[in-house]
Structure 1
Amino acid sequence: VGFAPLTSRGAHSFRAVTVPELTQQMFDPKNMMAASDFRNGRYLTCSAIFRGKVSMKEVEDQMRNVQNKNSSYFVEWIPNNVQTALCSIPPRGLKMSSTFVGNSTSIQELFKRVGDQFTA
């Protein structure tokens, strides 16, 4: 799970974000809510939810670009494995945001770390 933009409350008013920037940020390991790096695995499926005044065409173009540039991080045997959604009402205090939910094989890193803490 990732979210963009991840900034302090005070910084929101000084920064205008764009769809390409939100897309890049939501795939950034620093914006993920779990300590696993997607570059060490592959996405089986994922969903990107954008909120605010956003063009659906621009969202789909950006998501297609991400998939094309990072095709090695997406499994090829599940067609249409990226879903996008749009809600025109922005979150309070922001003009636009994006939330990312992904099912990646890289989560095994996190489970391995937790499991190692309980083995002798």
Structure 2
Amino acid sequence: GMGTLLISKIREEFPDRMMATFSVMPSPKVSDTVVEPYNATLSVHQLVENSDETFCIDNEALYDICFRTLKLQTPTYGDLNHLVSTVMSGITTCLRFPGQLNSDLRKLAVNMVPFPRLHFFMVGFAPLTARGSQQYRAVTVPELTQQMFDAKNMMAACDPRHGRYLTVAAYFRGKVSMKEVEENMLSVQNKNSNFFVEWSLTMFKLLIVTLHRVASR
């Protein structure tokens, strides 16, 4: 499609730049367009060859989050796009604001991609809030850590318990303690060691951006 053509041309013009994509996979729950599965299938080759980092987002997972977690009876494309924009904002936070152990796309790829073609990432986000929600509460680091690994908070319709983590990058925003973050991530790894590969030397990449997230309206 047009998107993969642009990726190919950009790669030709700027071969030394990092290329990151946020790729949305189709789902019959949200759209019944016949050609969507073909577009997704045919685009994978270009993503494998020309993208350095691909963040996989699934329409089915977005729909389930809106319906089950956010309790929206009839989710609209606006609700789905709100989740996508929130994820994009969170992932690119380190590019826009200073933080502890700051990172960029190149450093992320170094830590997250064990082999060049294995650059497809599954995204978990916490806490999840509906558009225009007026009810907010403070959440603790253990709560955030537990939620980000929960299948209900994954932006792809894939249960991580049915596979194993090769690498993990955890981005936190707000006034949180790096010591507390490290302790909780280590606890997750120790309690769920069967879900993590043994050979990865850089299993976790941690980042804290002290700037609070501004609530979306």
Q: Which moves more between the two structures, 36-45 or 78-87?
A: 78-87
How far does the alpha carbon of each residue in 1:64-118 deviate from its partner, in whole angstroms, 9 at most, with x for none? 0000001000000112311111100011029xxxxxxxxxxxxxxxxxxxxxxxx
Q: Does 2:139 match 1:10?
A: no
Q: Summarize the Cα distance change of 1:87–1:66 in structure 2 as closer, same or farther, 3 Å threshold.
A: same
| Structural RMSD (CA) | 1.5
Asked which structure has the greater CA Rg, the reply is: 2
Matches within 5 A, 1:1-120: 1-8=123-130, 9-10=132-133, 12-13=135-136, 15-93=137-215
Q: Which amino acid aligns with 2:153?
A: N
How far does the alpha carbon of each residue in 1:35-72 deviate from its partner, in whole angstroms, 9 at most, with x for none? 00000000011100000011000000000000000100
Q: Which residue of 1 aligns with 2:96?
A: none
How far does the alpha carbon of each residue in 1:25-44 deviate from its partner, in whole angstroms, 9 at most, with x for none? 00000000000000000001
Distance 2:194 2:207 in 1: 24
Q: Which residue of 1 aligns with 2:24?
A: none
TM-score normalised over the length of structure 2: 0.41
Distance 2:134 2:158 in 1: 27
User: 1:16 aligns to what SS in structure 2?
Assistant: coil
Q: Which amino acid aligns with 1:48?
A: A
- Sequence identity (%): 61
Q: Which amino acid aligns with 1:51?
A: R
Q: Which residue of 1 aligns with 2:6?
A: none
Q: Which residue of 2 aligns with 1:101?
A: none
User: 1:44 aligns to what SS in structure 2?
Assistant: coil
TM-score normalised over the length of structure 1: 0.73
Q: For this pair of structures, how many residues does the alignment match?
A: 93
User: 2:168 aligns to what SS in structure 1?
Assistant: strand
Q: Which amino acid aligns with 2:146?
A: Q
Q: Which residue of 1 aligns with 2:72?
A: none
Q: Which residues of structure 2 form unaligned runs of 5+?
A: 1-122
